[in-house]
Amino acid sequence: MAKATTVMGGIIGVGLVIPIVGSLLPKGGGGTGNWAPLTDDEVKQLQAATAKPVKLTFSLKSKDSYLPMQTSDEYVWGIKVDQAKFEAARPDLFTKDGKSDLPYDVVNMNFVIFSPICPHLGCRFAWDESGNKFACPCHGSQFNFDGEHLAGPAPRGLDPLPLREQSGTAEIMWIRYKSSVEDRIVISYQS
């Protein structure tokens, strides 16, 4: 699997560096997850994207006390944003002075990565091309391009995930947040 070395290296070369998230301790949770590399082609698509989200695939490694390391195919949604506009659209993710309200930067290099899990009851939403929004097939929750909650029973907007550059490769961290509550509470760093 090709990694995002070239693309991210180019971005870093112009002076934008993604900070490394050292410790993630969101509300109600502890520990950290594994960083997973994104593919070169998909990161290039994200760089070139304008008003459409890009589906980014990766291998999620997970392990518990009883089983050996498991690997599963996963995906997230990436969008390219103007940071100021995104902050205005998603006040639930930022403090009043514009800092991330999560223990990691929500916007990195003008990219935002969304978990594909609906905050209502955990189904997977998808991008509705004709409606120009994210839509969940289970109970009809809808979210705009910025992940803002538009309609349906979801109690919050879409959940951003950490993104970083490591040795020239774009990596994301999988976090599963509790469904059906307004706050973002970590329940798992595995699938």
Tell me which residues touch ligand FES (CB under 6 A). Answer: 118, 120-123, 136, 138-141, 152-154
Closer CB to ligand FES, 19 or 140, in the complex: 140
Which of 89/150 has CB closer to ligand FES? 150
Spatial neighbors of 155 by CB under 8 A, at least 6 apart, are: 119, 120, 149, 180, 181, 182
Q: Which is nearer to ligand FES, 10 or 140 (CB)?
A: 140
C-alpha distances (whole Å) from 78 to each of 29, 67, 75, 181 are: 24, 31, 10, 23
Q: Which is nearer to ligand FES, 44 or 133 (CB)?
A: 133
Rounded to a whole number of angstroms, the minimum distance from the CB of residue 43 to ligand FES is 27
Q: How far is the CB of 130 from ligand FES (least distance, A)?
A: 19
Q: Per this entry, what is the length of the chain?
A: 191
In the numeric block, the tokens 């029973």 are attached to 153
By beta-carbon proximity to ligand FES, the closer residue of 49 and 150 is 150
Q: What minimum distance in Å lies between the beta carbon of 46 and ligand FES?
A: 24
189 Cβ contact partners less than 8 Å away, ≥ 6 residues apart: 31, 32, 33, 34, 62, 173, 174, 175, 176
| CB of residue 140 to ligand FES, shortest distance in Å | 6
Closest CA to 123 of 140, 146, 145: 140
Considering the complex, what minimum distance in angstroms separates the CB of residue 70 from ligand FES?
Answer: 24
